[in-house]
């Protein structure tokens, strides 16, 4: 496709200008081909309404406003004047960094950064050209701002008034589109701008998937096998069918659904079902068998994700060597909005209203289980009440479609209970890490060998991404190590554990960072060096990483050894193109410990919406604490033992530390943000605990290692 | 038939008396601002006011609310409710926003009985409300701001 074809124009039904814009794929291999994915749409109506159809899903990360501000900045309108509409499932809205229509991997702002600004600038140029044509004036003598084009002699036309003319003009070539210099930005990077979605969220409006409603809607609850993957052999539904308000009982094979006039009736009736399940091999999985599988994996040859120097020789040369193993537990996503989906199958089509991070996958899942062709499945993505990676999965969507298939013409809303949600998650994989390090006579790190063993999410979810045994979403946090170590090797072994696993906020960054950044402190101690100084000495070629580490040390008042009652711990990494460093404060509180403060310095390149960068970092830190202090998923006889928030308890206000965030923006391109705050919390805490108590926690959660936090 | 007073209006619902108030609000009365999170009074997403007291509607049988005055997020109004909403908006508290109706109901109940809460009182009143996005610092700030608004 010719570059000038990137931007296509058409008249919208209302006579306005619709501007579709295309995003060159970010991956070099794809960029070399002629495949370019259309990414999002801007619509300007004659009544001056400017609609931004947002390709990414809003789950609290501010993606609606953050992407809208990119287009608004170049279009020359205040972002608050845009109407934001959520895009349906359509190939036009693929995320080019991920190759599908999904929201994840902290990619939204990164992949939209150039094309959305180009789209805004292209549209602005077209409005100027349209005004020039209207006024028979030289375009160079015109300017545009605030949704109007201004000309000599006080001439002024709104974008809406110019839309029809603009739509008839030739599309500009992308390389002819002039973007603002960052210094000229009036909205991007500016403090004090509000989220556009806040007011609706404060009025209790119908926003989330669980709130979706259609005329004649009925409600469903689902009995699922306590062992994930188990199937229905037979069931007795006589009690359920006898309950007033129950409409149907449907065998889905992976569960038995009860459909009723109201959810509570469906749930009560569901609880009376007596189901015989076929469990299979999964029924023998336990937390112990998971650990044993990982242990077995440590002995196997593993693909190398990154290597420089000769790590075996380096370790031999070292005057001091150290070895340690770190283990991370399985975790649930525990999004506050439980899994749910409203589905309608009628007249050969299927409509799905749901909160999803993956509209394209939702479409495929609904098609597979409704028997409707994918192109006849319409996805209506709703606001997400917590994603964290759980809503990249489409299990509940497929189930709702299967129920709706059995009740053609009737909209049916499936809601999982909290217990369903906790016991039927796609869990963050457990992982086992072995690290060996070698120090020279001066105590400098010269050799570092890391081996990770863990199940792969990607192997199940997106198999083509696994190449030569390497899952790119398992090497994050290891292959991108920022320290210059002359002899370095990291290998990652995919080891199935029989547990269904899923992407969990920050994915393998959180696993690998716990191992690497804990070990860095152990090495520093062995070298007799200060943990910050030890790290800085290895960051000579990483000015951005050095800057955030230096900054966070300064913020936290980093100084020598711990006092008897209080210690600081540090951790540092590159994560989704963003550089981040974290310090945690741990103090004694009776027999327990308390994390009272956390400091984070972050370099996202450019902070598109600084207030929301701060919000995302704070959010990521709280997620990190939820995943580190006391939670884990345990399995006995294939059954997840934790059911509700009394056993898997998200961090509450009483345990939330004061969190200080410094943004040290160093460039003109944004890095990822939604997951960056999470991975360094556990290692920074472990390092603080070790400095305070002498006890090195190498296995999470802290509570299971006998370290209690209040 | 159960007679309820919801957000100042009389409503009659045909539901079993043991049906949780939460599901009567959401399914029978189409007031979906009150959220389902856990069903065990562990997360606070379903918090409403019954006769001015914060109550977890997921474990409150609708029969227990009969004849009492129920306020949901949709009806959160008055001096305190307005101050809370104003502060929440100014601080841009929500991320995903799913827990926020419950947070605001708990906060407004706190401010109604304790217009100038201490940090400890805020923690005690809000600790039953889980926010998985981790907006606790902004919630605390917004409660402080609302308290100052109420002071005039």
Return d(Cα A413, Cα A134) in angstroms, integer. 52
Q: Would you state the structure tokens that stand for residue A7, as one six-digit string?
A: 């931007």
CA-based nearest residue in chain A for residue B16? A265
* Adjacent-strand bridge partners of A322: A437
Average pLDDT of A396-418?
A: 98
CA-based nearest residue in chain B for residue A422? B38
Q: What is the pLDDT of residues A516-537, one digit of tens each?
A: 999 999 999 999 999 999 999 9
Return d(Cα A456, Cα A508) in angstroms, integer. 10
Q: What is the pLDDT of residue A483?
A: 98
Inform me whether the C-beta atom of residue B74 falls under 8 Å from chain A C-beta atoms.
Answer: yes
With bands split at pLDDT 50, 70 and 90, how would you rate the model's confidence at A45? confident
- Among the partner-chain residues A211, A418, A620, the one whose CB lies closest to the CB of B32 is A211
Q: Is residue A196 within 8 Å of A80, Cβ to Cβ?
A: yes
Q: Would you state the structure tokens that stand for residue A502, as one six-digit string?
A: 């899923």
Q: Please, which residues have CB within 8 angstroms of residue A432's CB and are 6 or more apart in sequence?
A: A291, A294, A295, A297, A298, A325, A326, A327, A452, A453, A454
Q: List CB contacts (< 8 A) between B123 and chain A.
A: 653-654
Q: What is the pLDDT of residues A623-666, one digit of tens each?
A: 999 999 999 999 999 999 999 999 999 999 999 999 999 999 99
CA-based nearest residue in chain A for residue B32? A211
Does the predicted TM-score (pTM) go above 0.90? yes
Which of A195, A201, A381, A676 should one mutate to test binding to chain B, selecting the residue with the greatest count of B CBs within 10 A?
Answer: A201
Average pLDDT of A486-511?
A: 98
Q: List CB contacts (< 8 A) between A422 and chain B.
A: none
Return d(Cα A13, Cα A30) in angstroms, integer. 34
Q: What is the pLDDT of residues A656-694, one digit of tens each?
A: 999 999 999 998 899 999 999 999 999 999 999 999 999
Inform me whether the C-beta atom of residue A219 falls under 8 Å from chain B C-beta atoms.
Answer: yes
* Adjacent-strand bridge partners of A657: none
Exposed, middle or buried by CB within 10 Å (0-12, 13-18, 19+), for A641?
middle
Residues in chain B: 152
Q: List CB contacts (< 8 A) between A219 and chain B.
A: 27
Residue A564 pLDDT > 80, yes or no? yes
Nearest Cα to Cα of residue A619 among B135, B142, B102: B135
Residue A214 pLDDT > 80, yes or no? yes
Token pair 């790290």 is at which residue? A535
What b/e readout covers A434-463, taking b as 16+ CB neighbours within 10 angstroms?
A: bbbbbbbeebbbbbbbbbbbbbbbbbebbe
A36-50, A84-98, A203-217, B36-50: least confident range: A36-50
With bands split at pLDDT 50, 70 and 90, how would you rate the model's confidence at A61? very high
- Among the partner-chain residues A198, A335, A654, the one whose CB lies closest to the CB of B127 is A654
CA of A612: how far to CAs of A139, A653, A679, B52, B93, in Å?
A: 37, 20, 19, 34, 10
Q: What is the pLDDT of residues A163-186, one digit of tens each?
A: 888 888 887 776 678 999 999 999
Return d(Cα A658, Cα A672) in angstroms, integer. 23
Q: Tell me the longest C-alpha to C-alpha distance in chain A.
A: 82
ipTM over 0.90: yes
Helix, strand, coil shares of chain B, percent, nearest 5, are 45, 15, 40
Return d(Cα A151, Cα B20) in angstroms, integer. 63
- Among the partner-chain residues A60, A219, A415, the one whose CB lies closest to the CB of B97 is A60
Q: Tell me the longest C-alpha to C-alpha distance in chain B.
A: 45
Token pair 């960094």 is at which residue? A97
Q: Is residue A403 within 8 Å of A257, Cβ to Cβ?
A: yes
Q: What is the pLDDT of residues B104-119, one digit of tens each?
A: 999 999 999 999 999 9
Q: What is the pLDDT of residue A41?
A: 72
Q: List CB contacts (< 8 A) between B134 and chain A.
A: 618-623, 651, 656
Q: List CB contacts (< 8 A) between A262 and chain B.
A: 15, 19, 23, 27-28
Nearest Cα to Cα of residue A656 among A620, A702, A612, A625: A625
Nearest Cα to Cα of residue A303 among A450, A436, A432: A450
Q: Would you state the structure tokens that stand for residue A548, as one six-digit string?
A: 């955030």
Q: What percent of chain A stands above pLDDT 70?
A: 94
Task: Write the DSSP string, A448-483.
Answer: EEEEEEE--SHHHH-GGG-BTTB-HHHHTTTTT--S
Token pair 């997620």 is at which residue? A623
Residue B96 pLDDT > 70, yes or no? yes
In B111-130, the residues whose Cβ lies within 8 Å of chain A are 122-123, 126-130
A52 or A170, which is more confident?
A52
Q: Would you state the structure tokens that stand for residue A35, as one six-digit string?
A: 């495949």
With bands split at pLDDT 50, 70 and 90, how would you rate the model's confidence at A99? confident
Q: What is the pLDDT of residue B152?
A: 82
Return d(Cα A584, Cα A297) in angstroms, integer. 33
Return d(Cα A103, Cα A63) in angstroms, integer. 9
Element (DSSP H or E) covering residue A154: none
Return d(Cα A68, Cα A60) in angstroms, integer. 15
Q: Is the peptide bond before A408 cis (omega within 30 degrees of 0)?
A: no
**Using only C-alpha atoms, what is the Rg of chain B?**
15
With bands split at pLDDT 50, 70 and 90, how would you rate the model's confidence at A9? very low
The alpha carbon dihedral of A10, A11, A17, A18 has a sign of negative
Q: List CB contacts (< 8 A) between A193 and chain B.
A: none
Q: What is the pLDDT of residue A19?
A: 54
Residue A425 pLDDT > 90, yes or no? yes
Return d(Cα A452, Cα B67) in angstroms, integer. 61
Q: What is the pLDDT of residues A186-198, one digit of tens each?
A: 999 999 899 999 9
The CB density around residue B7, as the number of other CB atoms within 10 Å, is 18
Q: What is the pLDDT of residues A259-273, one digit of tens each?
A: 999 999 999 999 999
What b/e readout covers B97-131, taking b as 16+ CB neighbours within 10 angstroms?
A: bbbbbbbbbbbbbbbbeeeebeeeebbebbbbbbb
Q: What is the pLDDT of residues A106-116, one digit of tens each?
A: 999 999 999 89
Nearest Cα to Cα of residue A673 among A444, A505, A436, A504: A505
Residue A36 pLDDT > 70, yes or no? no
Token pair 């069931």 is at which residue? A235
Q: What percent of chain A stands above pLDDT 90?
A: 86
Average pLDDT, chain A: 93
Long-range contacts of A175-181 (CB under 8 A, 24+ apart): A175/A3, A177/A118, A177/A121, A177/A122, A177/A125, A178/A121, A178/A125, A179/A74, A179/A117, A179/A118, A179/A121, A180/A73, A180/A74, A180/A117, A180/A121
């Amino acid at each position: 496709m010719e570059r000038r074809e990137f931007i296509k124009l058409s008249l919208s039904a209302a006579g306005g200008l619709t501007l579709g814009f295309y995003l060159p794929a970010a991956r070099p291999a794809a960029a070399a081909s002629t495949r370019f994915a259309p990414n999002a749409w801007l619509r300007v109506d004659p009544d001056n309404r400017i609609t931004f159809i947002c390709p990414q899903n809003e789950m609290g990360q501010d993606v609606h406003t953050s992407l809208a501000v990119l287009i608004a900045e170049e279009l020359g309108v205040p972002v608050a004047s845009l109407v934001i509409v959520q895009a349906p499932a359509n190939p036009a809205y693929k995320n080019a960094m991920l190759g599908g229509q999904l929201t994840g991997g902290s990619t939204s702002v990164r992949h939209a950064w150039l094309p959305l600004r180009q789209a805004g600038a292209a549209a602005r140029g077209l409005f100027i050209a349209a005004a020039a044509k209207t006024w028979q004036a030289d375009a160079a003598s015109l300017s545009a701002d605030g949704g109007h084009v201004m000309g000599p002699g006080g001439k002024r036309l709104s974008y809406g008034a110019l839309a029809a003319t603009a739509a008839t003009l030739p599309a500009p070539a992308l390389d002819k589109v002039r973007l603002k210099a960052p210094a000229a930005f009036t909205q991007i990077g500016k403090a004090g701008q509000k989220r556009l979605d806040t007011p609706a969220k404060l009025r209790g409006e119908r926003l989330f998937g669980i709130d979706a409603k259609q005329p004649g809607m009925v409600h469903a609850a689902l009995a699922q096998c306590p062992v994930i993957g188990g199937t229905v052999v037979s069931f007795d539904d006589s009690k359920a069918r006898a309950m007033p308000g129950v409409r149907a009982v449907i065998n889905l094979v992976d569960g038995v659904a009860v459909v009723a006039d109201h959810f509570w009736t469906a749930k009560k009736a569901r609880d009376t079902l007596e189901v015989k399940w076929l469990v299979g091999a999964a029924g023998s999985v336990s937390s112990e068998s998971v650990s044993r599988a990982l242990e077995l994996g440590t002995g196997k040859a593993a693909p190398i994700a990154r290597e420089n120097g000769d790590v075996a020789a380096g370790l031999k040369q070292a005057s001091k060597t150290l070895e340690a193993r770190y283990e991370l537990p399985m975790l649930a996503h525990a999004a506050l909005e439980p899994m749910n989906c409203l589905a309608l199958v009628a007249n050969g089509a299927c409509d799905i209203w749901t909160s999803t991070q993956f509209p394209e996958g939702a479409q495929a899942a609904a098609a597979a289980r409704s028997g409707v062709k994918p192109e006849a499945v319409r996805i209506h993505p709703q606001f997400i009440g917590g994603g964290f990676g759980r809503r990249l999965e489409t299990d509940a969507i497929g189930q709702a479609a299967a129920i709706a298939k059995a009740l053609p013409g009737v909209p049916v809303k499936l809601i999982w209970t909290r217990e369903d949600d906790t016991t039927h998650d796609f869990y963050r994989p457990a992982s086992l890490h072995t690290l060996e390090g070698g120090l020279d006579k001066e105590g400098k790190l010269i050799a570092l060998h890391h081996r990770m063993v863990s199940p792969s999410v990607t192997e199940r979810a997106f198999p083509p991404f696994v190449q030569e045994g390497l899952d790119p979403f398992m090497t994050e946090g290891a292959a991108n190590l920022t320290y210059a170590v002359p002899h370095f090797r990291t290998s990652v072994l995919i080891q199935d554990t029989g547990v269904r696993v899923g992407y969990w906020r920050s994915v393998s960054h959180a696993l690998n960072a716990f191992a690497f950044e804990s070990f860095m402190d152990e090495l520093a101690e062995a070298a007799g060096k200060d943990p910050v100084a030890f790290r800085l000495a290895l960051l000579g070629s990483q000015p951005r990483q050095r800057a955030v580490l230096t900054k966070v040390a300064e913020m936290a008042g980093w100084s020598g050894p711990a006092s008897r009652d209080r210690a600081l711990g540090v951790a540092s990494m590159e994560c989704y193109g963003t550089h981040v460093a974290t310090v945690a404060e741990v103090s004694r509180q009776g027999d327990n410990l308390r994390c009272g403060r956390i400091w984070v310095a972050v370099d996202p390149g450019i902070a598109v919406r600084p207030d929301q960068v701060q919000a995302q970092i704070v959010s990521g830190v709280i997620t990190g604490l939820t995943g580190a202090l006391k939670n884990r998923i345990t399995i006995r006889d294939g059954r997840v033992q934790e059911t509700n928030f009394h056993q898997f308890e998200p961090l509450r206000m009483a345990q939330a530390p004061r969190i200080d965030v410094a943004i040290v923006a160093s460039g003109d391109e944004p890095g990822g943000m939604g997951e960056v705050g999470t991975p360094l919390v556990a290692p920074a805490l472990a390092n603080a605990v070790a400095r305070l108590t002498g006890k090195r926690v190498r296995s999470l959660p802290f509570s299971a290692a006998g370290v209690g936090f209040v | 038939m159960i007679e309820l007073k919801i957000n100042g209006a009389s409503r009659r619902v045909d539901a079993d008396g043991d049906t949780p108030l939460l599901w009567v609000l959401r399914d029978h009365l189409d007031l979906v601002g009150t959220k389902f999170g856990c069903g065990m009074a562990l997360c606070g997403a379903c918090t409403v006011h019954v006769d001015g007291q914060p109550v977890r509607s997921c474990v409150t049988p609708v029969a227990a609310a009969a004849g009492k005055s129920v306020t949901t997020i949709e009806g959160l109004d008055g001096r305190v409710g307005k101050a809370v909403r104003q502060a929440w908006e100014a601080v841009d508290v929500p991320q995903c926003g799913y827990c926020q109706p419950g947070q605001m109901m708990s906060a407004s109940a706190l401010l109604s009985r304790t217009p100038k809460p201490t940090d400890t009182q805020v923690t005690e009143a809000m600790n039953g409300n889980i926010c998985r996005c981790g907006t606790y610092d902004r919630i605390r700030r917004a409660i402080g701001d609302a308290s100052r608004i109420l002071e005039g």
